Amino acid sequence: MFATSTQRHFWMFKDENDVSNARLSANIKYISSRGRNMTVAERETHFLNVVEEKSLIMSYEYQLRDFCRKFHPPMPRYVIGTALHYLKRFYVNNSVMDYPPKEILVTCVYLACKVEEFNVSMDQFVGNLKGDREKAAAIILNNELLLMQQLDYQLTVHNPFRPLEGLMIDMKTRFPTFSDPERLRPGIDEFLEQVFYTDAILIYSPSQISLAAIIHSASTSKENVDEYITKILFSEDQKRLLNLIEAVKKIRVMVRNVQLPHRDTIKALEKKLALCCNPDNNSESPAFKKRMKQSFDEEESFEDGQYPSASSNQVRNMLMGLSEMGKI
């Protein structure tokens, strides 16, 4: 349950400011470690600031959703929800410049498929990607542990979809005066899609979010479900009712303010990112490749606790051999 989950105990924030502060501290940390020899003005131009990072992340969230929508076999909603959760959590603790978001994105989806028991083999998964498949597989496998580590190995995510179903059932049973709550479904689905682009999932509990979805959808179709809430759900507690109303209001405000950033801004930001990103973690950069090749040549035998690092060529050959034998 949510009340006893790690999500509630370790990954919740008080409000949007807190989330921004966390992102800010990650950003500052990266800048101060990389831009030690620069002046303040130089840093501003060279590195991304928090707002720009946020826009970048939002664009990548959209990309994630698109990727999952076109995924074959069709991916259920809760897997997408979990993947978005992971992405958000990862970039609350780390800066966008530190780890390339494209790689983290695919790793998040892959990990979410595993955790939510939506079984997809690596072959099937990279089949959905464009470009070099073995390389992608290698990237995903290399990043998986990193991702889990940054999530503190707390992988269970509570999404708003099951509470939504529960509330629907409850409404149909205990509030029969409201005819056919299924009419509200399209509005609800849209709301829930949008809510994943906000930080609401890091601040409010999933049942509150789904209740906000119901209320929103009801109000857009000019219906009123207040009676259900006051009479049936919160018949005893007035104070808690106020608390909930406040929460719902804030969630709806957040969703209303969601704005997909403009494509040109995103392009510019990406260019800037390519300049200031951390070359050690970016598998495209020549420095990374050189380092990988070096470390592979030097370490023929690996000590305890270290994983063998391979250059992409070696990995490619290995993966090809493996895929010929059977499945990876």
Partner 1 sequence: MDDYQTCPKCKTTKYRNPAMVLMVNACGHALCESCVELLFAKGSGACPECKCPLRRNNFRVQLFEDPAVDKEVDIRKRILKEFNKRQEDFPSLREYNDYLEEVETIIFNLVYDIDPTNTNKMIDNYKKENKDITQKNRNRQSQEEMELEVLLEAEKAQQSEKANLYVNAELEEKKQKHKAREKLIDELMFSDADAKSIVASHVQATAALAKEQPKAAAQLSSGVVKSSKFSSGVQIGLRGQHTNSFLPIPKQEDLPLYRYTAPVFDYDGPPPPPIEKLGKLNYFANIRAANITERAGGYTEAMSCCRALQEALGGLFYSPQLTHKAAVLATNASTPDTDDMETT
Place of tokens 């989806």: 109
In the complex, minimum distance from the CB of residue 59 to partner 1, in angstroms, rounded to a whole number: 24
Q: Which is nearer to partner 1, 106 or 147 (CB)?
A: 147
Q: Which is nearer to partner 1, 188 or 319 (CB)?
A: 188
Structure tokens at 122: 């690596």
3-state secondary structure 152-200: CCCCCCCCCHHHHHHHHHHHHHHCCCCCCHHHHHHHHHHHHHHHCCCCH
Residues 141 and 139: their CA atoms lie apart, in Å, by: 6
Residues 90 and 29: their CA atoms lie apart, in Å, by: 15
Q: Which is nearer to partner 1, 235 or 313 (CB)?
A: 235
In the complex, minimum distance from the CB of residue 222 to partner 1, in angstroms, rounded to a whole number: 24
Q: Which is nearer to partner 1, 106 or 211 (CB)?
A: 211
If one counts every other C-beta atom within 10 angstroms of the C-beta of residue 114, the result is 15
In the complex, minimum distance from the CB of residue 194 to partner 1, in angstroms, rounded to a whole number: 20
**102: burial class by Cβ within 10 Å (0-12, 13-18, 19+)?**
middle
Q: Which residues bind partner 1 (CB under 8 A)?
A: 1-4, 8-15, 18, 21-22, 25, 28-29, 31-33, 40, 92-93, 158, 162-170, 172-174, 202-208, 210-211, 233-234, 236-237, 240, 243-244, 247
Q: How far is CA 40 from CA 22, 35, 46, in A?
A: 21, 9, 10
Reference 188, options 206, 161, 166; nearest CA is 161
| Cβ partners under 8 Å of residue 187, min gap 6 | 213, 216, 217, 218, 220, 221
Q: Which is nearer to partner 1, 128 or 159 (CB)?
A: 159
Q: Helix (H, G, I), strand (E, B), or coil: what is residue 223?
A: coil
In the complex, minimum distance from the CB of residue 121 to partner 1, in angstroms, rounded to a whole number: 26
In the complex, minimum distance from the CB of residue 197 to partner 1, in angstroms, rounded to a whole number: 19
In the complex, minimum distance from the CB of residue 49 to partner 1, in angstroms, rounded to a whole number: 12
Q: Which is nearer to partner 1, 175 or 288 (CB)?
A: 175
